[in-house]
């Protein structure tokens, strides 16, 4: 397609305007792409934090279960010792100093 000198005179002044419009469109597309990238990254970060929290919650639950099992074992052990002591005729609650008469009095000196 041939451009006549007269058409060229009309086209040249409009070139900067066309370039500015084209640049603005490209800038908008770039900004939209960057915004989309940022939003995607934020969503991924949020999902990652949620997954980490869930894993941590499992650890806490497992830790609590282990602690509960330890406490149950301690209780059973104590209860077993008390039962053994009661079968042997020993007092399940030892008195202070081993003397039952002294355990009922408090000695206070001023």
Report yes or no on 71 lying in a domain: yes
With a CB cutoff of 8 Å and minimum separation 6, the contacts of 85 are 91, 92
What pTM value is reported for the model?
Answer: 0.35
What are 72's two structure tokens? 């149950």
Domain holding 52, by residue range, is 9-81
74 lies in a domain? Answer: yes
108 located within any domain: no
Residue 80: predicted pLDDT: 82
Does residue 21 sit within a domain? yes
| pLDDT of residue 104 exceeding 70 | no
Q: What is the pLDDT of residue 30?
A: 93
Count of domains forming the chain: 1
**CA dihedral defined by 54, 59, 64, 65, rounded to 10 degrees?**
100
What percent of the chain is modeled with pLDDT above 90?
Answer: 22
**Any domain includes 43:** yes
- pLDDT on residue 110: 72
Residue 39 lies in a domain: yes
Are 92 and 82 in contact by the 8 Å Cβ rule? The answer is yes
pLDDT tens-digit series, residues 7-45: 777 778 888 888 999 999 999 999 999 999 999 999 998
> If you ran DSSP here, which 8-state letter would residue 104 be given?
G
Does 37 fall in a domain?
A: yes
């Amino acid at each position: 397609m041939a451009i006549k000198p007269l058409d060229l005179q009309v086209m040249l002044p409009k070139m900067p305007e066309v370039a500015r419009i084209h640049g603005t469109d490209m800038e908008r597309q770039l900004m939209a792409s960057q915004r989309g990238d940022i939003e995607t990254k934020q969503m991924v970060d949020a999902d990652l934090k949620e997954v980490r929290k869930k894993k941590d919650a499992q650890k806490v639950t497992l830790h609590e279960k282990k602690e509960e099992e330890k406490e149950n074992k301690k209780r059973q052990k104590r209860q077993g010792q008390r039962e053994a002591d009661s079968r042997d005729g020993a007092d399940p609650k030892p008195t202070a100093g081993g003397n039952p008469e002294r355990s009922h009095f408090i000695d206070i000196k001023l």
